Amino acid sequence: MNRSIGSRGIIVKALTGLVSGAIAGAAMSAAYQTYGARRDRRRFPPPGRTVDVGGRRIHLWIAGTGSPTVVIVPGLGEPGLNWAALLPELAVESSVVLYDRAGLGWSDPCPWSGTALGAARDLRRALDGAGIVPPYVLVGHSAGGNIVRLFAAEKPDAVAAVVLVDSSHPEQIRLLHGTRVAITREMLRSRLTPLGLRRLAFDAGWSDRARCEAEARRLPAKLLSTRIAFDLSDRQRRAELREAAAAITVNPWQVRRRAPSLGPIPLTVISSCPDEPPGADVEAIAEQRRFYSVWSPLQADLTRLSSNAEHVVAEHAGHHIHRDRPELVVKVILDHLQRARTEARRDR
């Protein structure tokens, strides 16, 4: 009897110690995260303009001069910073805007953000507030394609052209089996990661994971530390989670209902290509083939949005075509700029 009571006491003490350790670890993580976030805000001020959109401020990174203005809307959970490598070449030819959605990059968070429609309307208000007048050449990557479509549907007269870069399709969640489960699993994994401890591990030199992930985005070297700060930000993570939740729930419905067509707006769909097998892993190769058997027809279907559309398949490029084939993306955008200017001169 006494031995049994003693064993229970040891177990209780062990569990108490584990709980106390977990609470202490969580408190340390939260405290260090608060300190790190404040430090990062001082170290990395916004490079562009922050524009009031009704009690919140949206950040627009603006470069170059000229019309039409190229407006770039990045993919799911991505700040405009991820497209900064394309800025110099595009800004030589015209005005360019990189858009930070609510909670991403340098934009203020919003508790009800995340939907494609909300992001499209924030963009419209921010452009108006910044005095950036139409026409616009809208460029949407991945989930940013849904935002571009909704913007163009609400303000078609303001849009000179649309470029969809491996854009999301409203039917992909239904047709790509397991996507909803995979996104939900990733959301849970992200939510359970203690960012303060991850930040401490990076700052102390115990882990280089944050740097490796930032380098994989192929940013200009001077922006690498900024991207790491975003990756270690609670605000960024909350915005990513909201966008991911909306992507598998309301966004497909919004796009189908509100943006079924772009009418005669010039459109180029740039799609990734399944020409690079993922190593020698048989299962990975089979999974890629299954994915592209659905994805490629969906990309082709996007050309039906406009009566003035073309489809470009980017050879040797994965989903992030602006990283793998930046020269191709730049060429397509510049071609649309030239056509829009030719049309404007003809209409005078």
In the chain, where are the structural domains located? 49-177+214-347
Residue 256 pLDDT:
96
Two tokens, residue 80: 């405009």
Looking at residues 289-307, what average pLDDT do you find?
Answer: 95
49-177+214-347 CATH fold: Rossmann fold (3.40.50)
Amino acid in position 4: S
User: What's the pLDDT band for 283 if we cut at 50, 70, 90?
Assistant: confident
Q: What is the pTM of this model?
A: 0.88
Quickly count: other Cβ atoms within 10 Å of residue 134's Cβ.
15
114-169 per-position pLDDT tens digit: 999 999 999 999 999 999 999 999 999 999 999 999 999 999 999 999 999 999 99
Give CA separation, 291 vs 43, 56, 119, 178, 316, in Å.
Answer: 41, 39, 28, 11, 16
Strands 309-313 and 267-271: parallel
pLDDT at 31 over 60: yes
Looking at residues 253-258, what average pLDDT do you find?
Answer: 96
